[in-house]
Structure 1
């Protein structure tokens, strides 16, 4: 038997353009902006209308800041709630600032609670109050309760729109309920089963509901084992639970155990990307690293850590100053000493990156910290010996000084071991004091390796009385 071939739908110009991957290339963005500059809003809307909401949000991010208001005015009828939900925070703030409170309220009312909170939480307090006053009472109550939870917590992240049914229902009751209420959310993958106190007692996947006879009780097909998310749990910990237990959605419960919302995996993907990016950028002291961030905020963030680095660099240089006489008697030391400190800094950065990631993903805890220290110590010692031998042989072949080769080889081993220990102990110590290790670890580790690199190399040279 052959398969029935379905007739292909006629291809329109818009569909053809939408299927192409070049719709956000510079030529396309330029064509849209040229139409806006020419006052041809109809042409701009024709170009933009095939875009997915996420692509339209990207178009605004690719548009220069000064051109965004004109673009927004030209395609205003296409800027629905889904577009604002996908938009970069800074770009969205600029556009939201240009809207009236009732317009922001209309957009927020069309969104799930979590997306609406993401828009409203960035507003100034007075603007928040005006927007909330313009919303329907039920929507306003949901947003106000979500805003009462700590930032970056499950309460801010969750959406209230979910499906919950009592455990005494049958599968047929659940199906009739889903089909008979148009106001129910349409984006869900499982049904939460609750007891008389509205406490979650299990979950039932949609696939089970659809394949089970109507007369079977929900309690007989539901999965009682589930992962519950406390409403005040940090979003990073929530993401780790989703990753660990391969969750698609999870119930959020209040302190009393009552079901108050759910978190879905699409939100978690965003959180994982956000948290991972933040940690990488914080290691360099670059702040959020968002290219749409206002320049004054970027400068303020970066200059702080640059000033801190300046101070630590002075500490390292003061160590060099202690050995001015040694350097003056053997100028070759000034040529070689940056190699020791530089290699130590690189080794420390490698260890630091591994440890910060392990802390962020809960791979490194108090139970295995000692094991981690000895592991990195062995790695650092092995690398130090190999690098020391390599630089020692190279120095001897180049300069013909066995004593100089011994000094630089020994300093390389010492500084690599210091880098390995510092790369573990610094972030672990900061984490124990509830200080984000991704923010300030690099400064301390770099200072440690620079200082020890100079001290070990010049100190050994002085001890052996090296001179030219």
Structure 2
């Protein structure tokens, strides 16, 4: 009896059990740094040879400017194009300057169109022109056309590489075509079916195609319930569609309804990360992540928002100045003022965070907005009552004055209730006016809670303690 040949042995991939099982280790980073410092290029190359593109990008970000340049020289042709989209924009600018336009053009032409656009759109116009002249005509047209679409739109994040099949074909014809074609994307999830006008009329998941016999016509097994995305749709709306309907990919059409591209879930994961990061930065008054930005650039970017905060602080100070005589007569008020203001500010920030997230996720609608505002008002008032009792007792024991304890208790209830209202009404109002609530909400909420806190506390003190 003839024995069947045994299957070749393959190393089983390790199971990820902790953070140490993926990403970069401190030992690897220090090893690369030591190798570069000692001029041991082969050792540095060996340490980076098996790194994933994302990990190599993280390594480049963690190195100093000189070490980064040295490592790129060491890598040479082993610096793969897929690394570029993973690198932080500030660091990528340095890397691109070192690569030069000709080499960058070669790297971009090897990328999927959506990744190439992501890298290309951050370049200045002069450098873009130099890149375009070095690119093949067809690829140049793709980049130029992509940049003509609005920033952060579906046209910017879609990829042109996709599998498009005429509606008259059978599955057998489709399989033969895919086996023979040389320009298919490396990874794809769905087959898109188009009519003679090149309009998408349905799609077939690869899993269904694999289970269907060759003679079956595509129109018999295709899904017609699909979300078709226009070129100009904002990427945040695209991300919402993928999240809401569990999409893996979605077709993109132009104004005439013609299929021009596809957005896949890996692109959307990047968008979700980018939008979440952007909202967090805006809430803190930071325009964009600046971990790798230069000192002066970071300072200039943060300065305007700090000026706005200075203006709002002056408004709060003016309110305090109105009660200067009251504070002079009762010095304890100066000690207790920050308690009222900070508690209101913290309560307002909590409510604001919930409201901004609900607006971003489209959880707040006309039907539930009033209920949400009422709930947050009640929460603010309830917390105000609880902390009023606590703050009032502490103040009474501290200053041996039940009257001051009652004043701070009343001011606490007022300010925390107002904080609940401001934390909901301000972002909702800004959103309805077409202003991103993540940008301006925090400064307004803080101003309201500071002014109301000082006004309530000092006003009550002037009324009942003098």
Query: Which TM-score tier does this pair reach, normalised by the shorter chain?
Result: over 0.9
SS in 1 for 2:256: coil
CA contact (8 A) 2:332 2:399 kept: no
Aligned partners of 1:5 and 1:398: how far apart in 2? Answer: 83
* C-alpha distance in 1 between matches for 2:134 and 2:438: 41
SS at match of 2:442: helix
The 5-angstrom pairing of residues 335-414 of structure 1 reads 335-414=335-414
Taking the aligned partners of 1:180 and 1:24, their CA distance within structure 2 comes to 40
Secondary structure of the residue that 1:204 maps to in structure 2? strand
Deviations 1:186-240 (A, max 9, x none): 2101100111111111110111111101111100000000011111111111111
Give the aligned partner of residue 306 of structure 1: 306
Instruction: Tell me the residue number matched to 1:81.
Output: 81
Offset at residue 22 of structure 1 (A): 7.9
Distance change in 2, residues 1:283/1:256 (3 Å): same
Which runs of structure 2 are paired with 1:262-277 in the superposition (5 Å)?
262-277=262-277
Equivalent position of 2:434 in the other structure:
434
User: Structure 2: how far apart are the matches of 1:336 and 1:259?
Assistant: 65
Aligned residues of 1:113 and 1:161 also touching (Cα < 8 A): yes
Q: Confirm or deny: 8 A CA contact 1:191 1:204 kept in the other structure.
A: yes
Paired position in structure 1 for 2:16: none
Q: What is the CA distance between 1:399 and its match in structure 2?
A: 3.2
| Alignment correspondent of 2:45 | 45
Alignment of 1:62-211 (within 5 A): 62-211=62-211
Residues 294-351 of structure 1, C-alpha deviations (whole Å, 9 max, x = no match) = 2222211222111111111111011111111111111111111111111000000001
Mark the runs of 5 or more structure 2 residues left unpaired by the alignment: 13-18
Write the distance in 2 (CA, Å) between the matches of 1:420 and 1:224: 46
Query: Does the CA contact (< 8 Å) of 1:22 and 1:28 recur in 2?
Result: no
> Does 2:319 align with 1:319?
yes
- Quick one: distance in 1 between partners of 2:446 and 2:427? 12
RMSD (CA atoms): 1.9
Measured in 1, the distance between the counterparts of 2:201 and 2:28 equals: 52
Q: Confirm or deny: 8 A CA contact 2:422 2:448 kept in the other structure.
A: yes
Using the TM superposition, give the Cα deviation of residue 368 of structure 1 relative to its aligned residue in structure 2, in angstroms.
3.2
Q: CA deviation at 1:401?
A: 2.4
Asked if 2 retains the 8 angstrom alpha-carbon contact of 1:287 and 1:298, the reply is: no
1:278 equivalent in structure 2: 278
Q: Find the aligned partners of 1:233 and 1:314 in 2 and give their Cα distance.
A: 41
Alignment deviations for residues 443-468 of structure 1 (CA, whole Å, 9 cap, x no partner): 1111110111010000001111x15x
> 2:447 maps to which residue?
447
Aligned in 2, Cα 1:23/1:435: closer, same or farther, shift over 3 Å?
A: closer
TM-score (norm 1): 0.93
- Structure 2: distance between partners of 1:403 and 1:39: 75
- Which one is further off, 38-47 or 212-221? 38-47
- Distance in 1 (CA, whole Å) between partners of 2:63 and 2:364 is 42
Query: Whole-Å Cα distance in 2 between the matches of residues 392 and 6 of structure 1?
Result: 78
Q: Could you tell which deviates more after superposition, 212-221 or 121-130?
A: 121-130
Question: Shift of the alpha carbon at 1:84?
Answer: 1.3
Counterparts of 2:301 and 2:362 in 1: how far apart (Å)? 27
Is 1:213 matched up with 2:213? yes
User: Does the CA contact (< 8 Å) of 1:285 and 1:301 recur in 2?
Assistant: no
- Secondary structure in structure 1 of the residue aligned to 2:202: strand
**Aligned equivalents of 2:98, 2:293: Cα separation in 1:** 18
Answer whether contact 1:162 1:188 (CA < 8 A) is retained. yes
Q: Distance in 1 between matches of 2:350 and 2:129?
A: 47
Give the deviation of 1:30 after TM superposition: 2.2
Instruction: Indicate the SS of the match to 1:98.
Output: helix
- Structure 1 residue 10 displacement after superposition: 7.4
The residue matched to 1:250 in structure 2 has which SS?
A: strand
Alpha-carbon distance in 2 for matches of 1:22, 1:220? 44
Structure 1: gaps (5+ residues): 12-18
